[in-house]
Amino acid sequence: MDVAMKRSTARWKIVVGHHTMRSVSEHGDTEELLELLLSVLKDNDVDFYINGHDHYLEHISSRDSPLQYFTSGGGSKAWRGVFHPNKDKLRFFYNGQGFMSLQLNQDQAHFIFYDVFGNILYRWSSRHPQSSTYLDEE
């Protein structure tokens, strides 16, 4: 994976996995992924890690890199009430059912979390660091 990411000329680097790397809910942080994969993601300037697995919606920002963690696993088994903060910055957490969308172009990424009725719960946008201006808004 490290070699493939180093060779990549993609403007945005996005990694999608099943398990969480960072999580404040039931399964918590996945230590094996943090030990084996996190340094690879940071060394290769990965912008986003997107996962499911935990049954909620979540956005966490790394405190020591630009890496953003998004969890969209709110399709079932919601409302568990489990919350365990970690060392990174929690921007959004919803313990109910819903889904996430991502609109991506050359310069901007727009994430939106919705409840099951399609109501917007949270939105976050970012300009790519190589763009002329950087946008990081909630």
Question: Which tokens go with 109?
Answer: 């990424």
Answer yes or no: are the C-beta atoms of 123 and 112 closer than 8 Å.
yes
Kindly name the residue from 27, 53, 110, 128 that is annotated as catalytic: 27
Question: Among residues 94, 49, 56, which one has the least CA distance to residue 75?
Answer: 56
What's the number of CA atoms in the CB half-sphere (13 Å) around residue 95? Answer: 9
Residues in the chain, overall count: 138
Active site residue 27: yes
Given the DSSP bridges, would you call strands 108-115 and 120-127 parallel, antiparallel or unpaired? Answer: antiparallel
Cα-based distances in Å from 11 to 14, 25, 128? 10, 31, 8
Active site residues: 27
